[in-house]
Structure 1
Amino acid sequence: MSRPQFYDPNSPEEQPVPLPSAPQLTLAEGIVLQPPLTRRGTGPGLIAFVPPDSTLNLSFKSGDNKPLDPEPVQKWAEEGFAVVGITGHGSVSDNLKTAVDGLLNLKELDTRDKFAVAVYDPNVLAEVVAAIPQDPRLICLVVYGYSLVTPLLYPRWFACPHLQTSPLFRTLLCANWIVLLRRSFFLKRPTSTLPRLPSRIAKPPCTSRNTSVDHAIWEEHTYFEFEVRSVAKTMGTMVAEPYVNHVPTLAGGIGRKQLSAFYRDHFVFNNPKDTWMQTISRTVGSDRVVDEFIFHATHDKQIDWLLPGVPPTGKKFAIPMLGVINIRGDRLYHEHIWWDQGTAFCHLIRSSTMASPPAKRKRTEDASITRSDIWYKDGSVVLQAQQHQFRVHFSILGQHSSFFRDLEDLPQPPDQPTLDGCPIVELHDDAEDVENLLRALYNASFLFQETLPFPAVAALIRLGRKYLFRDLMKSAMERLTVHYPSAIEAYDAPLPPGRRIIQYPGIHFDVVSLARENNILLSVLPAAYWRAVKQCDSPTNLIDGIAANVSSRSNSNKVIHWDGFGNGNMITSAPILGSALATGRPYCADTWITSSYEFFSTYASSEKICAQCQQHTIESAAAGRKRIWEDLPGFFELPPWDELTGDL
């Protein structure tokens, strides 16, 4: 089968694969029925009590990030259940009866004598516990919540997964479930996972605890990735909002849009033609598959997700990998792949070095080689980047980088080029970048300078990511986020000492390129685009800046798109008062915030208007600029702020 080498949206293999869908049915006010959202399309029944405000993020305190899981009704439907979601405040007994009747009338329900109940709203927990014994078909109760609102006499076994205090009952046997004291209820072990629930409801209790997922979906997923090479079909094996993380390189995506772009631009068509995977072992659990395998390929193209920044060497390689693949229902929703990046780089560097002719004379005798100022006589390794050599210490490199630590431990081939007894390691990187990295390693004050040039910051990010100098990379990234924050409060705040970057025309375009090329710190993009537009006082200057600093046409399109707003000023033009305040003062009523007000500056009016109107002006401007800041990514065709993640 011929494997496509590029993305063709018109290919039959790239026609959209529809997700499993089934419209929600309204059973009563505050009660909806969601049929299963799986390929199979049928499943057992579950009734979920969720809070009326539908916030549902019970395991996260205020200010924390939103969890990756969808809201409960969709999640349980993706697990394969027919789900009734109840947010109403009516009688719990009546709501349960309505829910059961609705399930029984659903043709997609495949089990009609057993139902589960899940409670996400602790305010109704006591009523649910009291109502469940009235219907013997309700065989299991699962609870999520912080605490009990009303003391209960039963059940004796009780715990919530998110309790912040010690358990309430001394006879605690389970960390996840409420279990009523009657034979028709079954006890779930603390390590049990949600996908086991369908098997307990849909058929008699299993004598074996080894209820495993069907891992055929993982085989199908990899077939579409590496054999068919179809983005659409690969995404068709996943839930609505999946998550993939290639841990060593921080590559992947969160959500369907971001992950589709990753597969399209950096993965499916980015693998060599002869790519294949050798399975070593596979462990199949109740909701996930753990694969140990060896990734085989010939390095005949640059592989962004695996070896970022490494040009093709033409060498065959084999890298052991570990994959943890989570399955919801009959589709994938999390995929985490890990490998030892040091081993991967060492493999290719050794191959490249071994292929070089043995050094018959000192490399410094070559007139084209320049010895850097970073040259320690007691150094144990010579790094060569372009035509520059640096003599440094393996011990210093290994202290900060697992890549170089592993490289030192590898046995050196007999024909390894050397200089004064030191092995020569050739790096395919810019010599200036390597010099900046080494100065940061050997000069303790380098990172604590009041200001740093952007090339030094960029070098620490590029090489820090490539060679696993994580602390150096983190320090450089912190400087960038200070200049290009994701919060308007940080944008307003003065730059802290010791975190500044030397500014120059075009730096904002360079920041955009750095973030996109390395797929990190994408949260800096909106502010960087905005500052790029702000610094250009004419379309000519804007185009010159793009041509000089940004190679990606899409980046320039986004900046020009923003420039259509007139440098972001006219968008803030609005009447101060309108009909909000009837002061009877014509000047106040007719005054506008005009384009002279740059909306991401803090506004203090000097207009000759009354104090009341001036205060209203300041408050309106503050609210408006906050709203615009929240929408800023969309102006540049970027995902929302909460999706622009790419940090360590």
Structure 2
Amino acid sequence: HRNSKIEPCPSRVPYPSTKRQRTEEEPSEAAPPPAPAPTPVRSKIWMPYGDIILQAESTQFRINRDVLARQSSVFKDMFVIPQPPNEPTIEGCPIVRVFDSAKDWELLLEVLYHPFHSSVSRPVPVVAAMLEDALSRLHFEFPTTLEAWEDTEGVLSKIQPQPGAYIDLMHLILQCRVYSCIPTVILAALSAHRLEALVKGVRRADGSMARLHIQTFTRLVLALERITDFQRNWTLSWLKDDTIVPHKLCKSRKLCDRQKKQIDHLILWGNGHDVSYTLEGWNEEWSDKLCGVCEATAKLSYDTGRQKGWELLPTFWGYKEWKSLRDAL
């Protein structure tokens, strides 16, 4: 009857079952096996020079942690938490699992990495002008001729100079495959920062860190070795060549020889990773230490080395000659 009230059986209330209760360690034989975890897949947001992998659900995003850390203290604090030892990595990048949906992360990262996708539409000529402007600034700062490089005087003028800018520009140029700018942007980064600073990273004005990707750093170390050998055999070869200084026409051979050894000593005990003797002009302080004849022959040797340095610059980074560097954009 619909209104009948069913009372519990009183004989079953005070007496618990004598059957041993099932525990979590003893699953029912009839219980279906757990479904296998889905295989992680790469999202379209996969930065080749990213330094961390975010995994949302089964989707992985390779990003630069500094990009997120600059947006929010929450992200910054998240990356400060040390990862457990022996955790798996992908291409040397640690994996951080996040709990929002993959779609939410895709939308967020799309805004951060492709902000123009999320803004109002723009006419094709405007987009073309923006791209042309960006490339022209990069080509101005990092040209393909020694004369144009000398005109920059080694400082940024069309791009705002900020702490860590050369590291960020290096990543940008490598990611966008603006190949013609690669030799000089890497040289600029090595000129602006000691190797120790490049290892630890450079702090930007907002407190975040500009860091080199491990693959880029490896290339820099190899290039630095090639540059050191080049400088010893070309631009600075006059310091070891007794036919250049002291020259056979020198009227003060002992003095010039002593001054040459002093210059060599100062260079040797200066910045051990100094790349300035590859392309920078003759140091006028050296002229004050040498007689006119020795100065002229040493300067000629040095300038000949600079021209050779510019010619070989792409090879220091593993490329061929300049004309082989064609931008992908």
Higher strand residue share: 1
CA distance in 2, matches of 1:575, 1:475: 43
Equivalent in the alignment of 1:549: 211
What amino acid maps onto 2:292 in structure 1?
A
Equivalent in the alignment of 1:628: 309
Q: Please report how far the alpha carbon of residue 531 of structure 1 lies from its aligned counterpart in structure 2 after TM superposition.
A: 1.6
3-state SS of 2:201 partner: helix
CA distance in 2, matches of 1:437, 1:631: 43
Does structure 1 residue 476 correspond to structure 2 residue 139?
Answer: no
Q: Please report how far the alpha carbon of residue 563 of structure 1 lies from its aligned counterpart in structure 2 after TM superposition.
A: 3.6
TM-score normalized by structure 2? 0.50
Equivalent in the alignment of 1:166: none
Q: Residues 527 and 622 of structure 1: is their aligned pair in 2 closer, same or farther, counting only changes over 3 Å?
A: same
CA distance in 2, matches of 1:570, 1:619: 15
Equivalent in the alignment of 1:574: 237
- The correspondence for 1:528, drawn from 182, 185, 203, is 185
Match runs of 1:56-455 below 5 Å: 302=44, 386=107, 428-430=110-112, 433-434=115-116
Unaligned runs of 5+ in 1: 1-299, 305-384, 388-426, 443-463
Q: Which moved further from structure 2: 468-477 or 541-550?
A: 541-550
- The correspondence for 2:148, drawn from 464, 467, 490, is 490
CA distance in 2, matches of 1:575, 1:647: 40
Conserved 8 A contact 1:386-1:431: no
Residue by residue over 1:241-300, the C-alpha shift from the partner in whole angstroms, topping out at 9 and shown as x without a partner, is xxxxxxxxxxxxxxxxxxxxxxxxxxxxxxxxxxxxxxxxxxxxxxxxxxxxxxxxxxx9
CA distance in 2, matches of 1:499, 1:436: 30
Conserved 8 A contact 1:532-1:559: no
Equivalent in the alignment of 2:296: 615
Conserved 8 A contact 1:485-1:524: yes
Equivalent in the alignment of 2:19: none
CA distance in 2, matches of 1:525, 1:628: 15
Does structure 1 residue 537 correspond to structure 2 residue 194?
Answer: yes
State the percentage of identical aligned residues: 18
Conserved 8 A contact 2:143-2:181: yes
Does structure 1 residue 507 correspond to structure 2 residue 165?
Answer: yes
3-state SS of 1:634 partner: helix
Q: Please report how far the alpha carbon of residue 493 of structure 1 lies from its aligned counterpart in structure 2 after TM superposition.
A: 0.7
Q: Please report how far the alpha carbon of residue 475 of structure 1 lies from its aligned counterpart in structure 2 after TM superposition.
A: 1.1
Residue by residue over 1:176-212, the C-alpha shift from the partner in whole angstroms, topping out at 9 and shown as x without a partner, is xxxxxxxxxxxxxxxxxxxxxxxxxxxxxxxxxxxxx
CA distance in 2, matches of 1:437, 1:568: 50
Does structure 1 residue 601 correspond to structure 2 residue 259?
Answer: no
What amino acid maps onto 1:525 in structure 2?
I
CA distance in 1, matches of 2:303, 2:165: 28
Conserved 8 A contact 2:198-2:212: no
Equivalent in the alignment of 2:223: 562
CA distance in 1, matches of 2:185, 2:160: 15
Residue by residue over 1:115-165, the C-alpha shift from the partner in whole angstroms, topping out at 9 and shown as x without a partner, is xxxxxxxxxxxxxxxxxxxxxxxxxxxxxxxxxxxxxxxxxxxxxxxxxxx
Conserved 8 A contact 1:534-1:567: no
Q: Please report how far the alpha carbon of residue 640 of structure 1 lies from its aligned counterpart in structure 2 after TM superposition.
A: 2.2
Residue by residue over 1:407-445, the C-alpha shift from the partner in whole angstroms, topping out at 9 and shown as x without a partner, is xxxxxxxxxxxxxxxxxxxx934278439998xx89xxx
Q: Residues 557 and 468 of structure 1: is their aligned pair in 2 closer, same or farther, counting only changes over 3 Å?
A: farther
Q: Residues 500 and 632 of structure 1: is their aligned pair in 2 closer, same or farther, counting only changes over 3 Å?
A: same
Match runs of 1:27-42 below 5 Å: none
Q: Please report how far the alpha carbon of residue 566 of structure 1 lies from its aligned counterpart in structure 2 after TM superposition.
A: 8.3
Q: Please report how far the alpha carbon of residue 607 of structure 1 lies from its aligned counterpart in structure 2 after TM superposition.
A: 3.0
CA distance in 1, matches of 2:173, 2:291: 47
Q: Residues 431 and 573 of structure 1: is their aligned pair in 2 closer, same or farther, counting only changes over 3 Å?
A: closer
What amino acid maps onto 1:550 in structure 2?
L
Number of aligned positions between the proteins = 203
Q: Residues 607 and 436 of structure 1: is their aligned pair in 2 closer, same or farther, counting only changes over 3 Å?
A: farther
Q: Please report how far the alpha carbon of residue 497 of structure 1 lies from its aligned counterpart in structure 2 after TM superposition.
A: 12
Conserved 8 A contact 1:511-1:528: yes
Q: Please report how far the alpha carbon of residue 633 of structure 1 lies from its aligned counterpart in structure 2 after TM superposition.
A: 1.7
TM-score normalized by structure 1? 0.27
CA distance in 2, matches of 1:566, 1:498: 23
3-state SS of 1:602 partner: coil
Q: Please report how far the alpha carbon of residue 568 of structure 1 lies from its aligned counterpart in structure 2 after TM superposition.
A: 8.5
Q: Please report how far the alpha carbon of residue 639 of structure 1 lies from its aligned counterpart in structure 2 after TM superposition.
A: 2.9
Q: Residues 639 and 623 of structure 1: is their aligned pair in 2 closer, same or farther, counting only changes over 3 Å?
A: same
Equivalent in the alignment of 1:641: 322
What amino acid maps onto 2:150 in structure 1?
D
Unaligned runs of 5+ in 2: 1-41, 47-105, 203-208
